[in-house]
Chain A
Amino acid sequence: MMTSASRIAAGIGLLAVAALPLAVHTFFADAEKYYLHLLIQILLWAFIYTGWSLMGRFGLTSLGHGAFTGIGAYVTVLLWNYAGLTPWLGMPVSIALAVVVGLLVGYPCFRLRITGHYFALLTLALTEFIRLSIIGLRDYTGGSLGTQPRRYDGGLSLYAFQFEPNRVLAFYIVFALWLLGIYIWLRVDRSMDRYALDAASQDEDAARSVGVDVMREKLKVTALSAGMCALGGAVFGQYQMYINTDTIAGLGLSLNIVFAVIAGGIGVALGPTVGAVFTQVLAEGLRVAIQGSATMKAWFGSSALAIDQGLYGLLLILFIIYMPKGILGTGIDWWRRWRGRAAHRPAQDQAVTANRAA
């Protein structure tokens, strides 16, 4: 599938990402922590977005992933705080729980063929249910004030999976996580399941009639997607050392996930990552711009933080109307057209088909 040239390119790209802490250390030595934090945020959210896009690309537009990230973060932290269970066991438990919830909601949805906006609104109800349950259990979860994992060994401990003070370590942890996400995405992309799910999303009856077990395929991808988002949520909690329902559970988060993936590009491996870079840099860039400018501060005051949300909204509208394939998807299209003009198109298409078959 991969030509040797693209293998080399991927290798160089990976090395470049892995070397980012070094670059930050060299060029931004005075604000190293901040830039590392930005990179960590990007990679961590890229992982969560990638998890969502596993379902999203097959037309399973879920607004329920804010529930899965919430389960991942809260179950891990609560097990640590109240049962003394190390996150190394707590995270698998939280992932298992998220997968079970995903399957419990997914099975009837797929059985009854609830799709499109019915599916989106039903999963939205799941998000709200989980968010309200978290707030309702305020004796343990701190309600809407949020909670934090009990610090252990100065916040830097293998046993407690706490690593926030060491940003370089944190970077490599989320880097590994991100790699895992891309690996899973590529594995799904190259599996038979992907063709089955593509077929099912186009015409479920036709897919069924040629022997695709649609239910099984959809449940598989739901379990994978929910589990990834739970893991992402759990790591988020361990890194931030503070979680609340606004940052890691709820409708706003669910919509954010969808927006970032659409902005980046839903059908490409690095689309969610590009979406994460785009949204994080947009938010941080605006924050820095406003903090640095006395005029902007005076104009917008305390509500300045709403600017990035407003721009998100505006861009989401523009993306869906004018660029539904997202930044990376559209970029790849341009690149292909540009190359297609240079080379002979039919020959190239044949090569692509041959590669697919191989």
Chain B
Amino acid sequence: MDCQLDIFFLEAVLNGILLAGLLALLALGLNLIFGVIDVVWICYAEVVMIGMYGINFAYKGGLPFLLAAVLGILLTAAAGALLHYLVIRPVLDAAPINQLLVTGGVLFFLQAAATMAFGIEFKTLGIRLGSVIVADMSFSWARILAFLVALACMLVLWLFLSRTYMGTAIRAIAQDRQIMPLMGVDSRKLYLVTSAIGGGLAGLAASLMVLQYDIYPQVGLQFGPLIFMICVLGGLGSMIGGFIASFIISEFIAVGSSCFHTEWGYAVAFLFFMVAMFIRPQGLFGSKS
């Protein structure tokens, strides 16, 4: 395998950008939850997996895809709120590492539950959107769609956070967890809403992913570590940082995979991440604290 600056290289780079849109959307939900609640959901990709299964069954049950996607988003939003209510709330005052590990338990549980309920077979929706060919380069519509929806969603979230009362309250509590309850803000309600939004974003990502990827219980392991890496690289809690980091990481993956084997693209991305952390431990856009 050689690596030349030809049209295939350009194709890899552009596909990397398209992949970045999806990864940015995934990172967005995790970042929102971290920024507000200060908890890392290590099981975030498993919530996405639940959403993928939900959409799969709704679609195969006869619903049109868009309706199935909406159902999937509602499902993961409920899952997010439930996760917060049952698992995160009891450990809100515990050491941060315990909060991370407790969601590690949720990761095991959800994977096993999916295996028991749905089996280990790969499932696919069977929707083919085809691809577009531009100057010998081929891009799948599913990826282009994912990229556009991810961008639009980020815009909507930004508007929500900056223009609505609830959004303002969420941004305020992210800045100072102690003072907001004194100002009469119900932090418990805000946390629950944020978890639901974060879960809903996972569902949205799931509805884009079912168009490109197979559905199986371990699908989360393929994306989970990548999402954390992007969030940490961008600076946990920084949404702009996560957005830019997802482009960097996805370029490593796309270009590395096209020049070498797929694993090496990922391996180099993880190596780059570690080195980058040693240069800027607070992440590219994290604030020093």
- Residues of chain A having any CB pair with chain B under 8 Å: 59, 61, 105, 108-109, 112-114, 116-118, 120-122, 124-126, 128-129, 132-133, 135-136, 251-252, 255, 258-259, 262, 300-304, 306-317, 320-321, 324
Task: Enumerate chain B residues within 8 angstroms of A133, measured Cβ to Cβ.
Answer: 263, 267
Task: Choose one: A120, A251, A313; the contact of B105 (CB below 8 Å).
Answer: A313
CA distance A215 to B257 in the complex (A): 38
Tell me if A122 and B277 are in contact (CB < 8 A): yes
Per-residue CB proximity of B100-126 to A under 8 Å, as 1/0? 111011111111110110011000000
Tell me if A116 and B229 are in contact (CB < 8 A): no
Per-residue CB proximity of B228-255 to A under 8 Å, as 1/0? 1100100010000000000000000000
CA distance A314 to B236 in the complex (A): 27
Tell me if A125 and B225 are in contact (CB < 8 A): yes
B40 adjacent to chain A (CB < 8 Å) = yes
Task: Choose one: B90, B100, B112; the contact of A117 (CB below 8 Å).
Answer: B100
Q: List 11 A-B contacts (CB under 8 A).
A: A120-B97, A128-B270, A251-B221, A255-B104, A301-B119, A302-B119, A307-B112, A317-B106, A320-B91, A320-B94, A320-B98
Q: Given contact pairs A116-B95, A255-B108, enumerate 11 new A-B contacts (beta carbons under 8 Å).
A: A61-B97, A61-B101, A114-B277, A126-B274, A132-B270, A136-B261, A255-B107, A304-B116, A311-B112, A313-B112, A321-B102
Tell me if A321 and B107 are in contact (CB < 8 A): no
Task: Choose one: A61, A120, A306, A314; the contact of B115 (CB below 8 Å).
Answer: A306
Tell me if B263 and A135 are in contact (CB < 8 A): yes
Most chain-A Cβ atoms within 10 A of its Cβ — which of B87, B102, B110? B102
Task: Enumerate chain B residues within 8 angstroms of A320, measured Cβ to Cβ.
Answer: 91, 94, 98, 101-102, 105
CA distance A113 to B278 in the complex (A): 10
With A122-B274, A124-B228, A310-B112 known as contacts, the answer to whether A117 contacts B264 (CB < 8 A) is no
CA distance A59 to B97 in the complex (A): 8
Of all chain A residues, the one with the shortest Cβ separation from B265 is A132
With A116-B96, A132-B270 known as contacts, the answer to whether A309 contacts B111 (CB < 8 A) is yes
Tell me if A121 and B40 are in contact (CB < 8 A): yes
B213 adjacent to chain A (CB < 8 Å) = no
Tell me the minimal C-beta distance from A219 to chain B in angstroms: 15
Tell me the minimal C-beta distance from A202 to chain B in angstroms: 12
Task: Enumerate chain B residues within 8 angstroms of A324, measured Cβ to Cβ.
Answer: 94, 98
Task: Enumerate chain A residues within 8 angstroms of B119, measured Cβ to Cβ.
Answer: 301-303
Tell me if A121 and B91 are in contact (CB < 8 A): no
Tell me the minimal C-beta distance from A314 to chain B in angstroms: 5
Tell me if B267 and A129 are in contact (CB < 8 A): yes
- The number of residues on chain B lying at the interface, defined by a beta carbon within 8 Å of a beta carbon of chain A, is 48
SS class, residues of chain B in contact with chain A: helix
Task: Choose one: A109, A128, A321; the contact of B91 (CB below 8 Å).
Answer: A321
B273 adjacent to chain A (CB < 8 Å) = yes
Tell me if A108 and B278 are in contact (CB < 8 A): yes
User: What 10 pairs across the A-B complex have the smallest Cβ distances?
Assistant: A313-B108, A313-B109, A310-B112, A316-B105, A306-B115, A132-B267, A108-B278, A317-B105, A309-B112, A136-B263
CA distance A293 to B109 in the complex (A): 23
Task: Enumerate chain B residues within 8 angstroms of A311, measured Cβ to Cβ.
Answer: 112
Task: Choose one: B116, B229, B260, B278; the contact of A306 (CB below 8 Å).
Answer: B116
CA distance A61 to B102 in the complex (A): 13
- Among B249-289, those with CB < 8 Å from A are 260-261, 263-264, 266-267, 270-271, 273-274, 277-278, 281
CA distance A315 to B106 in the complex (A): 10
Total inter-chain residue pairs, C-beta < 8 Å: 146
Tell me if B104 and A258 are in contact (CB < 8 A): yes
Tell me the minimal C-beta distance from A99 to chain B in angstroms: 17
CA distance A258 to B229 in the complex (A): 20
CA distance A121 to B233 in the complex (A): 10
With A112-B278, A120-B97, A125-B229 known as contacts, the answer to whether A300 contacts B106 (CB < 8 A) is no
CA distance A303 to B91 in the complex (A): 31
CA distance A105 to B194 in the complex (A): 34
Of all chain B residues, the one with the shortest Cβ separation from A317 is B105
Most chain-B Cβ atoms within 10 A of its Cβ — which of A116, A306, A312, A320? A320
Tell me if A125 and B270 are in contact (CB < 8 A): yes
Tell me the minimal C-beta distance from A256 to chain B in angstroms: 9
Tell me the minimal C-beta distance from A143 to chain B in angstroms: 8
Of all chain B residues, the one with the shortest Cβ separation from A144 is B263
Tell me if B261 and A122 are in contact (CB < 8 A): no
Per-residue CB proximity of B1-38 to A under 8 Å, as 1/0? 00000000000000000000000000000000000000
Task: Enumerate chain B residues within 8 angstroms of A135, measured Cβ to Cβ.
Answer: 263
With A125-B273, A317-B87 known as contacts, the answer to whether A303 contacts B120 (CB < 8 A) is yes
Task: Choose one: B110, B116, B225, B264; the contact of A251 (CB below 8 Å).
Answer: B225
CA distance A117 to B97 in the complex (A): 6
Most chain-B Cβ atoms within 10 A of its Cβ — which of A135, A307, A312, A321? A321
Task: Enumerate chain A residues within 8 angstroms of B87, measured Cβ to Cβ.
Answer: 317, 321
With A61-B97, A136-B261 known as contacts, the answer to whether A307 contacts B105 (CB < 8 A) is no
Most chain-A Cβ atoms within 10 A of its Cβ — which of B96, B228, B277? B277
Task: Enumerate chain B residues within 8 angstroms of A301, measured Cβ to Cβ.
Answer: 119
CA distance A135 to B261 in the complex (A): 10
Tell me if A303 and B115 are in contact (CB < 8 A): yes
Of all chain B residues, the one with the shortest Cβ separation from A322 is B90
Tell me if B105 and A314 are in contact (CB < 8 A): yes
Tell me the minimal C-beta distance from A245 to chain B in angstroms: 10
Task: Enumerate chain A residues within 8 angstroms of B263, measured Cβ to Cβ.
Answer: 132-133, 135-136
Tell me if A117 and B96 are in contact (CB < 8 A): yes
Task: Enumerate chain A residues within 8 angstroms of B261, measured Cβ to Cβ.
Answer: 136
CA distance A109 to B232 in the complex (A): 14
Task: Enumerate chain A residues within 8 angstroms of B91, measured Cβ to Cβ.
Answer: 320-321
With A61-B101, A320-B105 known as contacts, the answer to whether A129 contacts B40 (CB < 8 A) is no
Task: Enumerate chain B residues within 8 angstroms of A251, measured Cβ to Cβ.
Answer: 221, 224-225
